[in-house]
Amino acid sequence: MAASVSIEEALDSVAPRLRRLREVRGLTITDVTERSGISKSTLSRLETGQRRPTLELLLPLAQIYNVPLDELVGAPDVGDPRVRLTPRQVKGRVVLPLTNNPNGVQAWKIVIPASQSVPRPRVHEGYEWIYVLSGRMRLIIGEHDTVIEPGQVAEFDTAEPHWFGSTGSGPAEILSLFARPGERMRVAPEQRSHSAD
């Protein structure tokens, strides 16, 4: 009996989770319909809890939102809790901590919605390394304003005025490593090809 209650509770939590994931990624129901082939009415009923989620509906949505299926349905955590940390909303962004050590290098996966495109530069001590997983990220450091593409890396001293966010054309997903002063990270230089002179 307890297992069935747990399943019902997990399914009940799917509706708000689906809506939040779609909104965070700056997608409309029409966008998701076009990408998934699921009708607008079905998506709308899933997001309001009027339609029971099934594997056939959740699998394509998990792929579109780029989240594991167990995260989509809120499956209970298993194993070492230090490995599965809880995502949270921070200033309109979804932030998933990947480390649990406040004194060392801190790592996060961050989903930046398309709406986060107005620069608000700030300054603080430390050093940051950012890798873009998907989407395009706008980065401002001092007077420099650039766009970082998927697979590209940026590193900078956070003592300089800086800001990163969406280009406004869509959401961006990034990995961020932050180190306090004295713990500067380095990106390995590209290997040079050896030529015979």
Q: Which residues of 58-81 are buried (b: 16+ CB within 10 A; e: fewer)?
A: beebbebbebeeeebbeeeeeeee
* Residue type for position 33: T
Tell me what the pLDDT averaged over the chain comes to. Answer: 79
Provide the residue range defining the domain that includes 135.
88-179
Q: Residue 7 belongs to a domain with what CATH number?
A: 1.10.260.40
CB 128 within 8 A of CB 158: yes
Q: Is residue 131 located within the same domain as residue 171?
A: yes
Dist CA 152 CA 79 (whole Å): 33
Instruction: Say if residue 3's pLDDT is above 50.
Output: no
Which tokens hold the place of 71?
């995260």
Instruction: Say if residue 8's pLDDT is above 90.
Output: no
Beta-carbon contacts of 26 under 8 Å, excluding residues fewer than 6 positions away, are 113, 114, 115, 166, 170, 171
Q: Is residue 68 located within the same domain as residue 92?
A: no
Instruction: Say if residue 5's pLDDT is above 60.
Output: no
Instruction: Say if residue 24's pLDDT is above 90.
Output: no
pLDDT for 2: 38
Dist CA 78 CA 76 (whole Å): 6
Kindly state whether residue 135 falls inside one of the protein's structural domains: yes
pLDDT for 20: 85
What's the pTM value of the predicted model, to 2 decimals?
Answer: 0.54
Whole-number Cα distances in Å, 106 to 26, 97, 118, 128, 130: 27, 8, 25, 10, 12
Kindly state whether residue 81 falls inside one of the protein's structural domains: no
Kindly state whether residue 195 falls inside one of the protein's structural domains: no
pLDDT for 181: 65
CB 144 within 8 A of CB 99: no
* Residue whose entry in the numeric block shows the structure tokens 């989509």: 72
Q: Is residue 96 located within the same domain as residue 68?
A: no
Domain tally for the chain?
A: 2
pLDDT for 123: 92
Q: Is residue 59 located within the same domain as residue 115?
A: no
Kindly state whether residue 123 falls inside one of the protein's structural domains: yes
Q: Residue 159 belongs to a domain with what CATH number?
A: 2.60.120.10
Q: Is residue 15 located within the same domain as residue 92?
A: no
Q: How far apart are the first and last CA of the chain?
A: 77
Kindly state whether residue 149 falls inside one of the protein's structural domains: yes
Dist CA 178 CA 101 (whole Å): 12
Q: Per residue in 151-183, pLDDT tens?
A: 999 999 999 999 999 998 888 999 998 887 655
Kindly state whether residue 50 falls inside one of the protein's structural domains: yes
Instruction: Say if residue 55's pLDDT is above 60.
Output: yes
